[in-house]
Amino acid sequence: MSGELVCIIVFINIVMLLILLLLHYAFTIINRSAAGQVMDEQLQKFIQDNSDVQSTGLME
């Protein structure tokens, strides 16, 4: 009986971990799609600033 109980507890723990991972993954997708445009704009601006710095550094 105790062996079956341990198996059930381990199985429940694994299922809970999978559910938590799926929830975490879903939330990251939702956050990424919601804030994705803002992040893309900031990233493009950052890349442009860096390329400007590199080009001016090469010109000198």
Write out the H or E segment, with its range, that includes residue 33: helix 2-59
For 1-59, what is each residue's pLDDT tens digit?
Answer: 688 999 999 999 999 999 999 999 988 887 777 666 666 777 788 888 877 766 665 55
- pLDDT of 7: 94
pLDDT at 18: 97
pLDDT for the residue 30:
78
Residue 6: per-residue pLDDT = 94
User: What's the confidence (pLDDT) of residue 54?
Assistant: 62
d(CA 30, CA 20): 15
pTM comes to 0.48
